[in-house]
Structure 1
Amino acid sequence: MSYSSEDETDISDSEMEEYVDRCYEQLKVETQKLKFSDTLYRCPYCPGKKKIVYPFKDILQHASDVAKGSQNKDIKHKGKHLGLVKYLKSEVDHEDLSSELTALTLVDQQEGNGVKDLFVWPWMGIVANFESVSKLKDVLAKRGVDAVRVRQLSSGSKYAVVEFKKDWSGFYGAIMFEKGFEVVNHGRKDYYSPNLSDELLYGWVARDGDYNSDGILGDFLRKNGDLKTVGDLENEEKRKNGLLVADLSNTIQELRMRLEKNNNYHEQD
């Protein structure tokens, strides 16, 4: 999205609303600057994040955070992101996108790949038939894949492992990575079909079939990961959060007891 150099100067608070509206109207015209796919978006105002794509709730959070965090000297940067917030809330149909992760899980569940499916944890993707790690990184970046690391299993191996963040955003990224290959018939089942093309990339999320397989791929996954279901991880997260709450409650209770003891001591004096 293009703006003149004067956009980098400060504007008064009285001009903010007008500027936000102008950014909002320009986004309505130049939607291709924002929309990466039907469910993924890029921030048109953060050049350094061009390769990062967000689901709706995350691009909205990003725009809101930048707007809140901008200081007076960055008032136009704030105005642009406020215009983006207005556009997202007014023009994007996000009824089903606000809980995209849940929707993806439910879809997979209906297909037999849901909370009972065994994934390799931490989340990992597998790419077959790649030429080099550097070229593969370029391909993944162009597809908007937010990978933590890409590793070739060994010299001459036809497999590479794509590592994702160890949280739910990493799970979302892994699922989107897999679906990107599935929509062009380059998923796991296509790779193991008789019509395999050795010249094309194939990709999927690592699951129990890969983990328990013979050879270098299975060895790597067993050495670097475990098998867990989404349900397992949800329960672990709830348990950890419960322990944190319990620890905090115990600490507060202990402090109260010390305070009361200290007060009683001074009262006796």
Structure 2
Amino acid sequence: EKTLVVKQGWFTMAQEMAHWLRPSRALKKITLYITPCIVNYPPSGRNCGLVNPANERLCGTELPYFPIGGPVPTPPPPDSDDVLRTTMWGGMEAGNGLLYRTQVIDGMVSEAGGHELLNIIAKLPEVEPGKKCRVGQTICTTAAGSLRHNFSSILHTVPPFFSSDEWMPLLRSSYRGSLDLAWKMKMINLAVPLLGAGARGAPVKEAARGAAESILEWDPCSSNVARRGDGLTLNFAVQSEEDIEIIEEAFESII
């Protein structure tokens, strides 16, 4: 069952645009929201978790910019001060093709989590030199700093760059890993952005198709992830009505 809610204009808080009831066996509901910021104005108010599209180092806002489509900038020296970290551009100039940390979810998560989140991330083991989470994988941390006002947990996942030869399989893996963790942790609801778009470089239409296929085909039973309960509610959020229409079309083509 699907309901479309038509709204117009710019929003200063999350607004529901459409929803589907029982779209799959494991999902209780999928709701599409428009919001100026999924971190500070999360869909449906407080959520058990937030999916945060991160990078392999989980370095957040070590630098003030994120190049669209990659690569991830070289981090500043570990002994550099805050001034250097906010002015160092890694050999690149600010301009077209760059997103600033206030324009990306990972940057906003880092800002809200502050030093508390940095300390949590610092204690995580490396899966290989210089990397704490591989592309397509997901790890969970407690919501730190002001993040805890809106979320209990942060699911950090590393979506692939659109230029990757394995873009779709890795994107599916990011969604599947995030949903598996949320299911295993018995979350009731989960705030989810459009993975792969933005700094990772995927067109919204391609990212929406990947999201719809990944989410609607997800089956926790196939991953041997046990859980009791009534199902998981996904609160899917983007920033524009145009994106809402594209995502709605992608889900409608499958449901």
TM-score normalized by the length of structure 2: 0.22
Identify the structure with the greater helix proportion.
1
TM-score normalized by the length of structure 1: 0.22
Kindly indicate whether structure 1 or structure 2 has the higher relative contact order, using CA contacts under 8 Å at least 6 residues apart: 2
Rg larger in structure: 1
